Amino acid sequence: MSNRRIAKLSVVLGGTVLLAGCSNWAYQPPIHGNFMTEPLNYPKALKGSPPAGGNFVQESAHDYVGFATMLTHSGHQMSGDWADVDYFSRKAIAAESGQVVPPEDNSNWAIPLEYPYGFRTQMAQQRVRLVNDLDRGGRDRFPALAARTQVAYDCWLERTEGDWVKEFDGQCHKDYVAAITALELALDGKPVAAAAPRGSHEYNVYFEFDKSALTPQAREIVDQAAATMKRDKSTKVTLVGKADLSGTDPYNLALSHRRADTVKNVLVADGVPANQIEERWVGEREPPVPTAQGVREPRNRVVEINWN
């Protein structure tokens, strides 16, 4: 029997009062949510969702319901995912009651790889940036955009906990970057149309030490990039192959070339026209993470996929 069916059965058998007592949202819960209360809280959030076009609290409620709904259709049926549906439904319910709910703190999420990638540090820095923008007028002046930015940030954390390979630089992260850029432009009185510049790094494909073959996870990222590119036949793609600072400069230059070639070959095999792809390889000369010579830094063993 699935967890969802067990939860519904529990409610039917008379656990409603107990479960309802667990339905309040708390900023730092011992667990994110509870799959046992999801059948109560998600419908409640859905029923109480205000229409778009209100103040920040109302927009937050609307967007958190949307995020919870997305999670119910994400194809994940494990109890942890239903717990996340419950958790964000409870955030929606809190907002529906008039509470200003804050963006998530990554310390409450199982975010991997602080070393060597610094994922938690990056997320914490972005949260400071987000809260600053909310506090300097984002909530009051641009409520819909501010709410969308906050929910995209929360989505980034939730998705990264589940699959960091795809999701740390995945769609939720892209949505957050686009939204917070738009919010900052709006707060600074600049045209929001410039909020989503293209040409930034769309995907990062990481390699093992001294290797130019794709890992299974890296292959999935390249396949995802190819699927996105094929929807826009005018896309011009630039691949930038890189290496860490261990080894000699000539060796690293050749290694970064092989890595770029690998990614290009897979993109072409996936249906991206070869004449739309430009390659560069810089070896150790443009490291994403500056290090001393000889340091094996995993984030520098990368091919950056950019397009415009």
Query: What domains lie within the chain, and their CATH numbers?
Result: 3-195 (no CATH), 201-307 (3.30.1330.60)
For 189-211, what is the mean pLDDT? 66
Model pLDDT for residues 231-282, shown as the tens digit of each residue: 776 678 889 999 999 988 889 999 999 999 999 999 999 999 998 898 988 8
pLDDT score, position 21: 38
Q: Is a pLDDT exceeding 90 seen at residue 203? A: no
pLDDT score, position 7: 42
Mean of all residue pLDDT scores within the chain: 81
Q: Is a pLDDT exceeding 60 seen at residue 33? A: yes
- Give the distance, in angstroms, between the CA of residue 270 and the centroid of all CA atoms in the same chain: 24
Determine what percent of the chain is predicted with pLDDT higher than 90: 37
Q: How far apart are CA 172 and CA 156, in angstroms?
A: 5
Model pLDDT for residues 107-143, shown as the tens digit of each residue: 889 888 887 778 888 999 999 999 999 999 999 999 9
Inter-residue contact 74 to 158 (CB < 8 Å):
no
Q: What is the pTM of this model?
A: 0.58
Q: Is a pLDDT exceeding 60 seen at residue 5? A: no
pLDDT score, position 74: 55
Residue 221 contacts by C-beta under 8 Å, 6 or more apart in sequence? 165, 166, 203, 204, 205
